[in-house]
Structure 1
Amino acid sequence: MNVYFACSITGGREAETAYHTIVATLQADGHIVPTAHLSQPDVIELEAVVDPQEVYTRDIDWINACQALIAEVSTPSHGVGYEISYALCIGKPVLCCYQQSKPVSKMISGNTHPALNLKTYQSHAELEHIVREFIAGITSSTQESDSFDMSNITRNL
């Protein structure tokens, strides 16, 4: 599965170990993470050389191509909020996870969109479980929709 990972870059890197846990979990399970570099300590230097328009176009293209978006939202970020909103608007399932001890924006916690999942975690092991459970839910709902019973439709043709 192609999974877009979103996290704070310039807003703060306090949750960097959690970023690494999410990306490592996804990659260990065989998922494609086009934004895996965001979990790296040198991401600010890597992204500094990229033009803002190029970042916007690249990231929107990646969100369009993904099957889901996972965001670590313990550290506030305008960009992450934008990415979450965009993904929801185009029908992508979104997981927002954050450290239980951190406050999260009410624009996230108050959002009742059915494709938005908001989860807290206390440990990296719990975070791994949350990520895997979210992906499993997407996989099972995709399989259910793939096995949709067409008999009623084809009978009327």
Structure 2
Amino acid sequence: MPPYVPRPIVVDYEEACRIRDLSPKASATLSRRCLQGMIRDFHGVREGTLAKEIEKIKDKIDPVTWDSIEAVRKIGNIGAHMEKDINVIVDVEPEEAGLLIGLIESLIEDWYIARQQRAERHAAIQALAAQKEAARKAGPTQGAGAAQPNP
């Protein structure tokens, strides 16, 4: 993980990956926790519950991603919250936990990595523009492309 992804998110993500086959329900819960951390960090939303926080970002992300985020919340809730009827047990399979981890990876790519790459591109363009402006103000120079004086 790149260093600009918040450490608590990386720690929960790595644990979700490590525990996926041993305890898929716990892995799904950790993916849910990653998701909440990412929404709070990236979008700056803190509403008290993940459901409210997801609702708050609905207009900031595409509908398919929003639906998937909502699905992670619901599946992660299986491990995070006991059913009202304690005799009802809903399992999460390792492959299903893997799908949730995959969404977390996609969101890290879309939110954190893309933002960093965009910032680096913009900084490079701005530095280039400043360099070109300085060269323009300095006037003509000797070398390639510069007008040579007549002997």
* Larger relative strand fraction: 1
The bucket for the TM-score relative to the shorter chain is: 0.3 to 0.5
Higher CA-based Rg: 2
